[in-house]
Homo-oligomer: A and B are copies of this chain.
């Protein structure tokens, strides 16, 4: 019954009241001019807490949805297949290698259900192995399946994934391991490079190790770090020990419409499909995704807007001497003075909502990169906090 807001809030708050850190209203329409500093208010709070894309949907996507509603009473097979074809074309894979879900969270759920069932049915023990902190849905899903989650804490100094510990945890397990690997990671925004992650996946494939990699690249579109390699390259090489999860909720600004997908070999996808409900994709998301994929101008604006916002925030953090990680995503992870819980409340009092706490890093804050105009408002408040000794 929990919605996303409650799910992730309670995960952070361990049951304490949400009052004060959950906005009363959603933000109004994105401003036409996204670079002018906004004025946060109770009626128009600045929402930098869920890694949404403040730019708003592409106008072409809105038009596509409105135009499609004439067939809203029909099951959406045609629109679904058109979206699948457009996604396949973008990645240079066959449509059979694309499995669609109501957000990547559903694709993650389906592949986990499939792999857990396969392992249990073969009489194998099974575990989910992941770095922590990371995006929490994989762990949430397997809990219901009575599967243990092995959390490997990020390295204390760099907040990078502890690859040696991850590999050891997989090697030492006497059963089947599902590795959940968010790359770039959430909340850190940093990537694990090709020499580490791709190499591990290839080694496991070569050794036929009982390990399956669920590589979540929700933020892959934002990566500039040349060390990064998309897992899709490994899928193209025919590796069957991974699936890459992707989403239209970030760069494409379609979080509300729910479309995500997985890229894997046709054999792996056939396994996943058995665990997806028959009509999980809706017409609105399918036509909006297809339209946005074809809208090169919007995609360029979307990416550039986030980069401009990153530059604004990074300049301020540098100026204030606040420690931060070099993000490759649409959010940035930085230190705060005292606890993030207190910092969240102080920001909320200014009608700016920032990300939840990711244990055990209680003095770090995940800040979504909204529009440049929103980030200017954030920076103004952040500097006022410094003046008050709050940061």
Contacts and interface: CB of A to CB of B under 8 A. Distances in A.
Interface of A: 1-5, 7, 26-30, 47, 50, 52-57, 61-62, 65-66, 68-81, 95-96, 99, 101-103, 105-106, 108-109, 113-114, 117, 121, 137, 140-141, 143-146, 249, 253-258, 266, 269-270, 273-275, 277-285, 288
A57 B80 contact: no
Contacts of A57: 69, 72-73
A141 B114 CA distance: 11
A66 B68 CA distance: 11
Contact of A1 (B75, B96, B105): B96
B1 A102 contact: no
Number of copies: 2
A278 B75 contact: no
Contact of A284 (B65, B143, B145): B65
15 contacts: A3-B278, A7-B278, A50-B74, A53-B73, A56-B73, A57-B73, A61-B69, A62-B69, A71-B256, A73-B256, A75-B255, A76-B258, A79-B256, A256-B284, A284-B284
Contact of A4 (B75, B249, B270): B75
A200 B293 CA distance: 53
Contacts of A274: 143-144
Contacts of A77: 3-5
